[in-house]
């Protein structure tokens, strides 16, 4: 690995993916610059050595300042604050600014199977940003993480009665990834550019059915956890069209990732669900 003398700009560093990448880079001795609207939320990263720049992805002047003198950019966006069209606009705006600034390596975090015409709104929005990055000739790596294991500590966590309820078929496997692994891939992309430039990489560390997941959660938590399938017609009303469409796709088609091939190609350890569960303090859940 080659530590870069210039900083890597990380967007979304106060969130899940950006935070994982920033921490992985800092742990390896790489200079990191974080752009955030709320510098106080990046206090722990500042204590770890990151340079914090206040700014907004929608502000051209902010982008120019944040990009000045940077070697690379870790770029991410989310549709869940301002909607799909705004996500695409921000993604294009940041890519264009990086191109103008002469950024040597642009790492964009998309979503697993974004290129497969899924019809899932928040997958398709990221695919549009991916296409723009290619069209403008930005030297880039595209990371495509799948379902986060961490979702089982938030909206998909077991209920007080010990039930995991999602609109997944009992026999259907779901590919999943630990946020830490996204961080390691993001860091490796910058520190091993010859291995990563020009690549689009779907990332997963495990693939399990929901009953298998519940059985592992039972072992980890010491509670009796069981899976209950949430009827799809109810899911549409409870989750909205976007997420219901995603789960329909999970059930009918699903991610297609060669996990062993991924390990072999890049030499980065991938976390299994059983391994990831050991990192969680389940008593606080």
**What are the tens digits of pLDDT across the range 198-216?**
999 999 999 999 999 999 9
Neighbours of 206 (CB within 10 A): 24
- pLDDT tens digits for range 44-97: 999 999 999 999 989 999 999 999 999 999 999 877 677 889 999 999 999 999
Predicted TM-score (pTM) of the model is 0.96
pLDDT beyond 90 at 278: yes
Taking residues 187-196, report their average pLDDT: 97
Residue 80 confidence (pLDDT): 67
Kind and range of the H or E element at 102? none
Is residue 121 very low, low, confident or very high in pLDDT (cuts 50, 70, 90)? Answer: very high
Q: In sequence order, which ranges of the chain are alpha helices (DSSP H)?
A: 16-27, 43-47, 60-67, 84-101, 121-135, 179-191, 193-196, 210-221, 232-239, 241-252, 259-266, 273-277
- Write down the pLDDT at residue 62: 95
Q: How far apart are CA 77 and CA 54, in angstroms?
A: 17
What pLDDT score was predicted for residue 218?
97
Residue 95 · residue 63 · CB < 8 Å: no
At 214-268, the pLDDT tens digits run 999 999 999 999 999 999 989 999 999 999 999 999 999 999 999 999 999 999 9
CATH superfamily of 8-148+179-204+258-270: NAD(P)-binding Rossmann-like Domain (3.40.50.720)
Cβ-Cβ contacts under 8 Å for 160 (sequence gap 6 or more) = none
């Amino acid at each position: 690995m080659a530590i870069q003398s210039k900083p890597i700009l990380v967007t979304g560093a106060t969130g899940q993916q950006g935070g994982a990448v920033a921490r992985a880079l800092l742990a390896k001795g790489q200079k990191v610059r974080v752009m955030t609207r709320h510098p106080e939320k990046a206090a722990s990263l500042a204590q770890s050595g990151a340079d914090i720049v206040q700014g907004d992805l929608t502000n051209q002047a902010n982008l120019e300042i944040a990009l000045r003198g940077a070697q690379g950019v870790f770029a991410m966006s989310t549709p869940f604050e301002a909607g799909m069209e705004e996500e695409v606009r921000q993604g294009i705006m940041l890519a264009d600014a990086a191109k103008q600034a002469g950024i040597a390596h642009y790492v964009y975090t998309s979503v697993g199977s974004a290129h497969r015409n899924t019809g899932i709104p928040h997958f398709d929005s990221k695919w549009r940003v991916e296409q723009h990055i290619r069209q403008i000739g930005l030297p880039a790596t595209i990371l495509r993480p799948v379902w986060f294991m961490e979702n089982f500590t938030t909206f998909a966590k077991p209920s007080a009665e010990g039930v995991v309820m999602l609109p997944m078929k009992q026999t259907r496997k779901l590919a999943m990834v630990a946020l830490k692994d996204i961080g390691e891939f993001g860091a490796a992309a910058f520190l091993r550019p010859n291995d990563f430039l020009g690549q689009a990489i779907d990332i997963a560390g495990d693939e399990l059915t929901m009953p298998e997941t519940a059985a592992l959660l039972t072992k980890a938590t010491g509670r009796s956890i069981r899976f209950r399938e949430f009827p799809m017609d109810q899911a549409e009303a409870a989750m909205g069209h976007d997420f219901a469409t995603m789960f329909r796709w999970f059930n009918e088609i699903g991610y297609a990732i060669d996990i062993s091939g991924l390990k072999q190609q890049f030499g980065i350890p991938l976390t299994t669900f059983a391994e990831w569960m050991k990192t969680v303090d389940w008593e606080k859940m």
